[in-house]
């Protein structure tokens, strides 16, 4: 049996505090990262570290992944130790940094369990720093807004369909995107994109998260749909949802509804962006 293992000690800076402050989301990201690293998960334990932090450990057959976050400093401290020829700990590190939207990182990669055949073990360390290209989502939001503006001016007839496509195609945490149109006391489903059709093509205003967003006239974010009694279930994979009303003057004329398979997927960044998109759509009603 080979004794060599890779241990990554990672300081991730500039992380999105809403993401690294959310216990369920951090847990989800770390468990997914274990899949990316191609390792077997044995135990998962994540907790709130008061007041805002998250602490968690995943025991894997090849050792562990652990995390501690300080959202108030946009900082996450990560520690991943694996061995085995098939494990890819660097893939887990890169995935986590991307999901946390870290802007820079300091990494030490320690190769452990080295010996020269005499069963006396040592390790070697390399350390580096990187600025990260985290503005991916931010850049995508800017370019989608530009595109929606362009369509509104040049091709308003299919603006709603195209916007649904742009949102679905550009953001991997948007797993179902639809636009509902207000029709009397009901919401009627217009264009949508996702892997499955919903049965809920007509929703009474006042029912569901969709109805509540119209009744309240404001964006609703639901971090955990299972815990919200208003929620009308459409897809078993949905974990969180955002609904953004489309306002024309004082009237609500429709709404954008997005489901995510990721818990607590939607942050203020999504809300601000999607409210801008909704505003560009109002003339289509």
Looking at the annotation, which residues are catalytic?
63, 68, 83
Tokens, residue 200: 């809920």
- Name which position in 210, 214, 262, 274 contacts ligand SME (CB under 6 A): 210
Residue of 6, 137, 259, 270 that binds ligand SME (CB under 6 A): 259
- Continuous H helices in 69-192: 89-100, 136-154, 159-170
The residue range among 10-18, 85-93, 125-133, 204-212 that interacts with ligand SME, by the rule CB under 6 A, is 204-212
Helix axes 136-154, 268-281, angle to 10 degrees: 10
- Would you state the structure tokens that stand for residue 280, as one six-digit string? 């560009």
- The reply to whether 181 sits near ligand SME by the rule CB under 6 A is no
Is 255 near ligand SME (CB under 6 A)?
Answer: no
Q: What are the residues whose beta carbons fall under 8 Å from the beta carbon of 178, sequence distance 6 or more?
A: 164, 189, 190, 191, 192, 193, 194, 198, 256, 257, 258
Of the two residues 6 and 255, which places its CB atom closer to ligand SME in the complex? 255
Out of 80, 160, 209, 277, the residue judged to bind ligand SME by CB under 6 A: 209
Q: Is residue 57 within 8 Å of 66, Cβ to Cβ?
A: yes
In the region spanning residues 91 to 150, those forming contacts with ligand SME, defined by CB under 6 A, are none
Total of chain residues touching ligand SME, rule CB under 6 A: 13
Asked whether position 198 contacts ligand SME by CB under 6 A, the answer is yes
Chain length of the chain: 285
Instruction: Please say which residue, 71 or 194, places its beta carbon nearer to ligand SME.
Output: 194
By CB under 6 A, name the one of 10, 83, 105, 234 that touches ligand SME: 234
Q: Which residue in the set 6, 62, 137, 241 belongs to the binding site for ligand SME (CB under 6 A)?
A: 241
Contact present, 176 and 189 (Cβ < 8 Å): no
Cα–Cα dist 219/236, whole Å: 23
State which residue has the least CB distance to ligand SME.
208
Of residues 49 and 231, the one with the C-beta less far from ligand SME: 231
CA geometry: angle 279, 145, 141, nearest 5 deg: 120
- Looking at beta carbons only, is 156 or 206 nearer to ligand SME? 206
CB of 238 to ligand SME, least distance (A): 6
Residues near 105 by beta carbon (within 8 Å), at least 6 away in sequence: 10, 11, 12, 13, 97, 129, 130, 132
Contacts with ligand SME in 49-88 (CB under 6 A)?
Answer: none
User: Whole-number minimum distance, CB 54 to ligand SME, in Å?
Assistant: 27
The H-assigned helical ranges of the chain are: 17-20, 23-36, 89-100, 136-154, 159-170, 208-216, 268-281
List 44, 110, 232, 280, residue binding ligand SME (CB under 6 A): 232
Q: Closer CB to ligand SME, residue 54 or residue 203?
A: 203
- Residue 163, SS3? helix
Q: Are 152 and 283 in contact (CB under 8 A)?
A: yes
Q: Where along the sequence are the contacts to ligand SME (CB under 6 A)? A: 178, 198, 200, 203, 208-210, 231-232, 234, 241, 257, 259
């Amino acid at each position: 049996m080979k004794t060599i293992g890779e241990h990554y000690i990672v300081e991730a800076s500039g992380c999105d505090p809403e993401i690294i402050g959310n216990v369920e989301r951090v847990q989800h990201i770390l468990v997914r990262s274990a899949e990316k690293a191609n390792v077997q998960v044995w135990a998962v334990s994540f907790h709130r570290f008061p007041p805002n932090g998250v602490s968690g450990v995943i025991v894997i057959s090849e050792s562990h992944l652990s995390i501690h976050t300080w959202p108030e400093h946009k900082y996450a401290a990560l520690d991943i130790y694996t061995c085995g020829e098939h494990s890819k700990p660097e893939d887990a590190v890169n995935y986590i940094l991307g999901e946390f939207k870290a802007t820079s990182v300091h990494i030490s990669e320690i190769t452990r369990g080295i010996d020269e055949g005499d069963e006396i073990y040592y390790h070697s360390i390399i350390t580096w720093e990187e600025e990260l290209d985290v503005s991916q989502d931010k850049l995508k939001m800017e370019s989608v807004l530009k595109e929606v503006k362009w369509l509104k001016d040049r091709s308003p007839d299919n603006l709603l369909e195209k916007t649904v496509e742009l949102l679905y195609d550009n953001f991997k945490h948007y797993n179902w995107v639809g636009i509902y149109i207000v029709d009397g006391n009901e919401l009627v489903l217009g264009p949508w994109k996702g892997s499955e059709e919903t049965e809920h093509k007509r929703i009474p205003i006042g029912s569901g998260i969709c109805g509540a967003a119209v009744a309240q006239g404001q964006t609703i974010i639901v971090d955990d749909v299972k815990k919200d009694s208003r929620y009308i279930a459409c897809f078993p994979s949905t974990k969180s949802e955002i609904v953004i009303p489309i306002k024309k003057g004082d009237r609500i004329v429709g709404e954008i509804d997005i489901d995510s398979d990721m818990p607590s997927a939607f942050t203020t960044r999504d809300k601000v962006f999607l409210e801008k998109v909704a505003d560009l759509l109002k003339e289509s009603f």
